[in-house]
Structure 1
């Protein structure tokens, strides 16, 4: 998992493949979850955005790997 906050996009990859992305914005970090309607929200820090992606995967899901792009 990368904590490189100079990157603009991170892809969240779980056991079944990509589950979403995080994009750096002027307001923080925007989360987009694949297969879900509407935006995933904007978070003030990269760590909080990663936590939101993990939580959206469900209570028993393993934390996804975040790959910087």
Structure 2
């Protein structure tokens, strides 16, 4: 018996105060989850749109976060 492990790339977004959210590539597209949230904020068709959506959900005036793949 063999098991298949599906790898879904994950990018963590870091702001000035630490982790602000994450983006996971999955079957739905690029799913944004903000740090501390109980549910995803939404899924987007491209990484660039997901990054913009995550930034838009941050505190107004926040710098663009640093995204690191994990």
How far did 1:35 drift? 2.4
Per-residue CA deviations over 1:11-38 (Å, capped at 9, x if unaligned) read 0000000011100011210011012343
1:60 matched residue in structure 2: 61
Structure 2: how far apart are the matches of 1:39 and 1:28? 12
Normalised to the residue count of structure 2, the TM-score between the two structures is 0.82
Normalised to the residue count of structure 1, the TM-score between the two structures is 0.83
Q: Superposition RMSD on alpha carbons, in Å? A: 1.4
Give every structure 1 segment of 4 or more consecutive aligned residues whose post-TM-superposition deviation is greater than 3 Å: none
Residues matched between the structures, number: 63
Please list every run of 5 or more consecutive structure 2 residues that lacks an aligned counterpart in the other structure.
Answer: 1-7
1:34 matched residue in structure 2: 35
